[in-house]
């Protein structure tokens, strides 16, 4: 573990297509009567093993439905794998859909505390980062207005500012960032590059081999839940390009 930030050990993830998503008794009874509840298994991940060293930037590629999101969720600790285990070291900050932790009746200031608390930080820690977050989010005097009065750009700027100010050890980037206007986007890209320079471990999900080659030094490919390639970013990207052609 010492050198690895993430260890994914023989992880398999099974879903039951029929019983999941059933959230009321009527549907449950109907499906039980039709004996549809315990059949049709679906393995979203099949025996996936790899590890990410500290400071590595790992690109995760694969076609739609290959299991990328499922893999990220098991690493983030949101999903528990059916078989196998995931070990991680340090704080993981997911940068996917930044607005998830917010409450619309709360002011921007209160939301900063709430959001950071959800990510498991102490009050003291957040207070230290507070001015930095407000400054970076460019919200100024609006910070005390309730969140429901914010535009979507303001919300995502605030979310981005919090997630990156807390200096996580592992940063999960799902798809390319499209936060705010052009100027803010440039500012946020710079910020992420700066974090990478500081030895943060990055998991980067993308379909674009160009951006994976630019950002990552390692990469993996998933196909129908299986790990088909794991190695240096440029070699894996080459392979991925061939796969796209064959498809």
Partner 1 sequence: MQKLAAIKKHKDNFMKYRYLLKELVSKQIKLQYRDSVLGMFWTLLQPLLTMIVLSIVFMNLFGRDSSQVVNYPVYLLCGRLLFEFFTSSTKRSMRSIRSHAGIIKKVYVPKYIYPLSSVLSTFVTSMLSLSVLAIVIIFFNIIKRNPITITWHVVFAVIPIIILFFFSLGVGMILATLSVFFKDIENIYDVFTLLLFYITPIVYHISRLGFEEGSWQMRLIKLNPIYGIIGMFRASILFGTEFSHYWDMKLMIYTIICSVIVMVLGFVMFHKNQDKFILHI
Residue numbers at the binding site for partner 1 (CB under 8 A): 15, 20-26, 28, 73, 76-80, 92, 94, 96-97, 99-101, 103, 105-106, 110, 113-114, 117-123
Q: What is the DSSP letter of 138?
A: T
Quick one: residue 208, left, alpha or beta (phi over 0 = left, psi -120 to 50 = alpha)?
Answer: beta
Beta carbon nearer to partner 1, 95 or 216: 95
Beta carbon nearer to partner 1, 103 or 135: 103
Q: How far is the CB of 55 from partner 1 (least distance, A)?
A: 23
Q: How far is the CB of 54 from partner 1 (least distance, A)?
A: 20
CA distances from 173 to 62, 107, 113, 202 (A): 15, 26, 22, 7
Q: How far is the CB of 120 from partner 1 (least distance, A)?
A: 5
Closest C-alpha among 50, 22, 23 to residue 37: 22
Quote the crossing angle between the two packed helices 108-118 and 152-165, to the nearest 10°: 50
Beta carbon nearer to partner 1, 55 or 101: 101
φ/ψ of residue 61, rounded to 5: -120, 160
Q: How far is the CB of 119 from partner 1 (least distance, A)?
A: 6
CB 6, CB 75: distance < 8 Å? yes
Q: How far is the CB of 20 from partner 1 (least distance, A)?
A: 4
Beta carbon nearer to partner 1, 80 or 190: 80
Query: Cα–Cα distance between 46 and 31 in angstroms, integer?
Result: 27
Beta carbon nearer to partner 1, 83 or 239: 83
Helical H runs in the chain?
25-33, 68-76, 108-118, 123-137, 152-165, 182-197, 209-215, 233-246
Beta carbon nearer to partner 1, 74 or 209: 74
Q: How far is the CB of 217 from partner 1 (least distance, A)?
A: 27
CB 226, CB 80: distance < 8 Å? no
């Amino acid at each position: 573990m010492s050198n690895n930030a993430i260890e994914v050990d023989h992880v398999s993830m099974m879903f039951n297509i029929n019983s999941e998503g059933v959230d009321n008794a009527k549907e449950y009874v109907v499906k039980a009567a039709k004996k549809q509840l315990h059949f049709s298994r679906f393995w979203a991940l099949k025996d996936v093993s790899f590890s990410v060293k500290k400071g590595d930037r790992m690109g995760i590629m694969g076609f739609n439905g290959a299991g990328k999101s499922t893999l990220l969720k098991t690493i983030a600790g949101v999903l528990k794998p059916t078989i196998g285990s995931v070990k991680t070291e340090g704080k993981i900050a997911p940068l996917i859909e930044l607005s998830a932790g917010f409450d619309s009746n709360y002011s921007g200031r209160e939301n900063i505390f709430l959001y950071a608390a959800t990510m498991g930080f102490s009050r003291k820690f957040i207070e230290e980062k507070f001015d930095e977050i407000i400054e970076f989010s460019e919200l100024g005097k609006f910070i005390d207005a309730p969140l429901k009065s914010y535009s979507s750009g303001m919300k995502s700027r605030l979310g981005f500012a919090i997630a990156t100010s807390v200096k996580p050890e592992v940063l999960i980037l799902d798809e390319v960032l499209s936060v705010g206007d052009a100027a803010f986007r440039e500012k946020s890209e710079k910020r992420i590059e700066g974090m990478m320079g500081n030895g943060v471990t990055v998991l980067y999900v993308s379909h674009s081999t160009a951006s994976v080659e630019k950002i990552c030094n390692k990469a993996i490919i998933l196909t129908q839940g299986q790990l088909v390639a794991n190695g240096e970013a440029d070699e894996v990207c080459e392979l991925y390009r061939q796969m796209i052609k064959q498809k």
